[in-house]
Chain A
Amino acid sequence: MAECMARGETPEVLFWVGCAGSFDDRAKKITKAIAKILSHCQVKFAVLGTEEACTGDPARRAGNEFTFQMQAQMNIQVLNGYDIKRIVTGCPHCFNTLKNEYPELGGNYEVMHHTQLLQDLINSGRLRLEGSETFKGKKITFHDPCYLGRANEVYEAPRALIEKLDVALVEMKRCKTNGLCCGAGGAQMFKEAEKGNKEINVERTEDVLETNASIVATGCPFCNTMMTDGVKNFNKEEEIQVLDVAELIAKAADL
C-alpha cells in the first residue's frame, strides 16, 4: 500500500490478508489463490504488508477488550491514513470485525468477504469460468463459517460460486442458518476445548461424511484447519479434500 501511495495510485480495493493468511502455511495457499484471481481479473489491489496487524478479533472474543481496542484503533489510524474505502478479506473473522466493529471506533469502509468480491467479478463478467471442467460432476459440500453465515447472513455468495463450477453442490443436514460450528470460533482456535465427549470438528466431519462429498469447501482459514483435522481423524484425507472457495475458483480458472 505504501508503494501505491508513493506512486500516487489508488487501488480499487485493499486486500486484508489476515494473520492466518500471512503466516499459516495452509492458509497462505488460500491467500495466493485470492491474489491470483484478483490479478487475473486485473483488479487493482494493494495489501498493507508489514503495516497490517491483527484486527483484534481473537482478543475481543477472548474477553480482552483492551487488546482489541489497541489493535482496532491502531489499524484504523493506518487505514484512514491511506484513505481506504473498500476492503476485501480472506477471513470471515477479519471481515466481521472490520465491517461491524470498526465503524463505531471511526473506521468506516465497504468491507467484503472474498466470496462476495469473487461473485461480483463473475456477475460483472470480469471473471469467466465457462467451460471449465476441472471439477465437473464432483460432489462438493459447503461448510458455513459462523462469522460469515449466521453472524453476517452471507449464505448465497459462496454457493453461487460453487455452482458456477458445474458440480453437484450437496448440502449437509445442518447448513446455512442451522450450520454447525467447526469448533474454532470465540478464540477456541487458540486453546484446548473444554472437557466433553467429542471434538466439535469431529461432529461436523460426520455431517460431511453423510453427504459423500469428495470436497468440503469453506471460506475461512480456521474452519479449513478444523475440517482438515476432522477429515484426518476419520483417515479420509485420501478421499476428501478441504478447500477454500477461492482455491476452487483459482483451479477452475487454471490459475
Chain B
Amino acid sequence: MVSILLFATVSLASLGLFTWKVAGIVKQIKLGRPTNRSERPGERWKTMLLVAFGQKKMFNRPIPAVLHFVFYVAFIITQIELLEVFIDGFTGSHRYFYHAGLGSLYTAVISTIEFLSILTFVATIIFFARRNLIKLPRFNMQELRGWPRQDANFILLFELLLILFIFMMNTADEALLLESNHGSYGFAISQYLAPALFGSDYAPQTLNILSGVGWWGHLLMVFLFLNYLPYSKHLHILFAFPNTYFSNLNPLGKWTNMETVQREVGLMLDPSLEPNLEVGENSDPQRFGAKDANDLTWKQLLDAYSCTECGRCTSVCPANQTGKLLSPRKVMMDTRDRLAELGTNGYNFDDGKPLLGAYITEEEIWACTSCNACVQECPVNIDPLSILIDLRRYLVMEESKVPSELTGMLTNIENNGAPWQFSPADRLKWTEEN
C-alpha cells in the first residue's frame, strides 16, 4: 500500500511538473506573431509521418541515421514496458502483462526490448565517442561550449543508466524464478545474465531488492528525463511532431509577403484605391521585420524549441564552411535562449539586449546567401533562413543599416529599374550585337 501511494505521489508530481513546464513553453511560443499553417492538412500529416515518424531526412547521413534509429525504435517499444510499470505501480502487481496470460507474446516483446537496449547501449557509446573522442566538427563548434555540450552528454548518461536499470530488474526477476525452480521468463538476454551474474549465491531477499531497485530506478529515470526535457535540446522528441506538421509547404524560394508594405506601395501607385484605414488603425503598429524574439512568428519560435542542436544546418551552410561568422544552428539556439529569457522576465521585458544585436550580429545576418541549404538539411524542418530574413528586414527598413554597396544597388533599381547603372533604353542592345 505504501509503495502504491509513493508511486502515485511521484508520478502525479512529475507529470504535473512536466505539464506545467511545457505549458509555459507553449505560452512563450504563442507570444509569436500569427502565421497561417492550417491549410492542406493532408499534406501536413504526410510530412509529419515521413519526416518525424519516418525519420526520412535523417537518412541523408546513414551512420548517425542508423544509430539514431536504434534509439528511436527502442524508445517507442519501451513505452509498452513503461505502460506495464504504470499498471504495476497503481495496482501493486508485478509484471501485470505476464500474469495476464500474454505468455509468449510478452516474452517476445521484452526480449525485443532487451535486444534494442543492447543496441542502444552500443549506440550510446558510439555517440559519446563521436562527441568527445573523435570530436566531429559539427559537435565541437563555438556555440556548443559549456551547457550545450554538457546537455548532450547528460542525455547519453541518462540513457546508459536507464538501460542499466532495465537489465537489473529483468535479470533479478529471472534469477528469482531460477532460485525457486520455476524455470524462466525466457527473456532473450537476462535469462542468460541471471545465472552468470547471480549464480546461486544470492538470497531471494537480495534479488527482490535488486528487482525493486531496477523497477524504481527505471521509473525515476523516466520521470527525471521527462522533467529534464523542457530544459534540454532533447525536447525535440516531442516537438519534432508538431514542428513537422506545421512545416512550410510553399516552395523554399518564396519569401513571406509584407502586406502592410504591399498596401502602402499599392496606394502610392494608384491613389484612387480606397485606403483600407480600418485594418491599419485597429491593428497594433508592428515593426517591419524582427528585432527581438517576440517579433517572430509562433512557427519560428516553435522551430527554436524543436532544435536539437545537431548542426547539420551549419555543416552545409556555405558561409560557415568558408569561415564566416554565420551558423544557422546558433541562430536557432539564440532565438530559443532569448525567448526563454523573455518568458522568465515577463513579455514586456526590455533589458536593452534584444535578439538582434545582443545575440545575433549584423555580420552574421549579412553573411547569408539565402541558399536554403540549412532549411533543406534540417531533419525536423526548421527554417533558420526565415529568421535571418526577418532580422535583415528590420535592419534595413527600421534602422536603414544597409551595407554601402547594397545601397548603390537599391538606388539603381529605384532610378533605372536595374541593379546596375544602365539606362532602361539600352535593354534591347543585345539584339543588335552578335
Contact = CB atoms under 8 A, between A and B. Distances in A.
Given A63-B396, A186-B370, A47 B428 contact: yes
B372 A198 contact: no
A58 B392 CA distance: 13
B408 to A, nearest CB: 8
Contacts of A99: 251
A32 interface: yes
Interface stretch (B13-21, B174-182, B223-231, B322-330): B322-330
Interface of A: 17, 19, 21-24, 28, 31-32, 35, 47, 49-50, 52-54, 56, 58-67, 69-71, 73-74, 77, 96, 99-101, 104-105, 146-147, 150-153, 177-181, 183-188, 190-200, 202-204
Contacts of A194: 319, 324-326, 363, 366-367
Nearest to A199: B322
B348 interface: no
Contact of B370 (A53, A105, A185, A200): A185
Contact of B322 (A49, A184, A198): A198
B240 interface: no
Given A63-B395, A194-B363, A200-B369, 14 more contacts: A19-B418, A22-B430, A28-B429, A53-B424, A54-B418, A58-B409, A64-B396, A100-B251, A150-B371, A151-B372, A178-B373, A187-B409, A196-B367, A199-B322
Contact of A185 (B255, B369, B433): B369
A101 B265 contact: no
Interface stretch (B44-52, B88-96, B158-166, B397-405): B397-405
Given A190-B405, A194-B319, A181 B369 contact: yes
Contact of A150 (B376, B405, B428): B376
Contacts of A77: 269
Contacts of A73: 262, 265-266, 269
B406 A187 contact: yes
Interface in B351-371: 363, 366-371
Task: Sort chain B's interface into a size bin.
Answer: 35 or more
B288 interface: yes
B318 interface: yes
B418 A53 contact: yes
Nearest to B261: A65
B417 A53 contact: yes
B106 to A, nearest CB: 44
Contacts of B384: none
Given A150-B376, A152-B251, A65 B322 contact: no
Contacts of A47: 428
Closest 10 CB pairs of A and B: A151-B253, A197-B323, A53-B417, A186-B370, A63-B396, A181-B371, A196-B323, A100-B254, A63-B392, A69-B265
A23 B409 contact: no
Nearest to B289: A63
A36 to B, nearest CB: 11
A76 to B, nearest CB: 10
A184 to B, nearest CB: 7
Contact of A28 (B370, B375, B413, B430): B430
Contacts of B278: none
A63 B251 contact: no
Contact of A21 (B60, B265, B371, B430): B430
A60 B316 CA distance: 24
Given A101-B257, A200-B369, A49 B427 contact: yes
A122 B288 CA distance: 46
A190 B410 CA distance: 10
A23 B261 CA distance: 29
Contact of B369 (A19, A74, A183): A183
B75 to A, nearest CB: 28
A184 B289 CA distance: 23
A50 B425 contact: yes
B7 to A, nearest CB: 49
B414 interface: yes
Contact of B253 (A22, A23, A152): A152
A139 to B, nearest CB: 24
B413 A198 contact: no
B419 interface: yes
21 contacts: A22-B426, A23-B418, A28-B433, A35-B431, A52-B417, A54-B418, A63-B392, A64-B396, A64-B397, A65-B261, A70-B269, A146-B369, A146-B370, A177-B376, A184-B369, A186-B370, A191-B406, A193-B324, A196-B324, A198-B321, A200-B369
A101 B269 CA distance: 19
A178 B418 contact: no
Contacts of A19: 418-420, 422
B393 interface: yes
A201 B32 CA distance: 37
Name which of B254, B396, B413 has the most chain A CB atoms within 10 A of its CB: B413
B411 to A, nearest CB: 9
Contacts of A187: 406, 409
